[in-house]
Each structure stands twice: as structure tokens, then as C-alpha cells.
Structure 1
Amino acid sequence: MLTGKQKRFLRSKAHHLDPIFQVGKGGTNENMYGQIRDALEARELIKVSVLQNCEEDKDTVAENLSKRSGAELVQVIGNTIVLYKESKEKKTIELPS
């Protein structure tokens, strides 16, 4: 579980990132969860964009993505979701305590 201080730190890190996944009309699926897990292992911090034609609510999508990928939900702002998961192999982000 992330503290408020850690979430603020991660939000500042994520500010300059571009979304690398888009959730559209089809919603989320197992293939997407796997790809997000792989991306989180490589990058630790990612953004996911929820398109306007997505049939699911963005908060529901964010909750599903964080649960199914084992990531921490950092923020949902607008139609963008920020996820964080500490990498086992390529740890680059040092969280404040």
C-alpha cells in the first residue's frame, strides 16, 4: 500500500509520461493484463488512456487493471490511469519512506 507521500512522488514522476496503452470499446481483457504486467516489470510506472468509446466506467477500468496486473493505482485523472508496480529485475524508482 502506498502512502500519500509516495503517491505524490509517483504522480510527479508520471507527469511527463505518455500513455502506452489505450482501453477502447472492447474494454479490458486477459491479453491486456499480461501486456500491462510486462510493461510494469520493464518501466515500473505507466499511464493508460481510457478512450471515450469505452463502455466501462474509467474508475471500474482502473480498479480492474490494478487488481489483475498486481499494480498499485496511483491516480485516475481525467481519462488517464497511472499504475505503479515495483520491478523485480529492473528497479529504477526509489520511493520515499
Structure 2
Amino acid sequence: MLTGKQKRFLRAKAHHLSPIFQVGKGGVNENMVKQIDDVLEVRELIKVSVLQNCEFDRSEVAEELSTGAGAELVQVIGNTIVLYKESKENKQIVLPS
């Protein structure tokens, strides 16, 4: 579980990132969750955008992605979701305590 201070730190880091996944009409599927999990192992912090034609609520999508990938939900702002998961192999981000 992330503290408020850690979430603030991660939000600042994520500000300059571009979304690398898009959730569209099909919603969240198993393949997408697997890909997001793999990318989180490499990058630790990613943005996912929810397209206008997505049939699901963005908070549902955020919950599904974070639970499926075992990641922390940092923020849902507009149609963008920010996810964080500490890498096992190549840790880059050092969270404030």
C-alpha cells in the first residue's frame, strides 16, 4: 500500500510519461493484463488511457488492471490511469519513506 507522500512522488514522475496502452471497446482482457504486467516489470510506472468508446467506467477499468497485474493504482485523472509496480529485476524508482 502506498502512502500519500509516495503517491505524490509517483504522480510527479508520471507527469511526463505518455500512455503506452489504450483500453477501448473490448475493455480489459487477459492478454492486456499480461502485457501490462510485463511492461511494469521493465518500467515500474506506466500510464494507460481509456478511450471514449470504452463500455466500462474508468474506475472499474483501473481496478481491474491494478488487481490483474498486481500493481498499485496511483491515480485516475481524466481518462488516464497511472499504475506502479516495484520491479523484481531492475528496480529504478526509489520511493520516499
Normalising by structure 1, report the TM-score.
1.00
CA distance in 2, matches of 1:20, 1:90: 19
Q: Which runs of 4+ in 1 moved over 6 A?
A: none
Superposed counterparts of 1:38-57, under 5 Å: 38-57=38-57
Letter in structure 2 aligned against 1:72: E
Per the alignment, residue 71 of structure 1 pairs with 71
Normalising by structure 2, report the TM-score.
1.00
Identity of aligned residues (%): 80
Secondary structure of the corresponding residue to residue 75 of structure 2: strand
Residue ranges of structure 1 left out of the alignment (5+ in a row): none
Map Cα deviations across residues 49-80 of structure 1 (whole Å, 9 max, x no partner).
00000000000000000000000000000000
Cα RMSD over matched residues? Answer: 0.2
Superposed counterparts of 1:1-97, under 5 Å: 1-97=1-97
Letter in structure 1 aligned against 2:16: H
Residue ranges of structure 2 left out of the alignment (5+ in a row): none
CA distance in 1, matches of 2:11, 2:60: 20
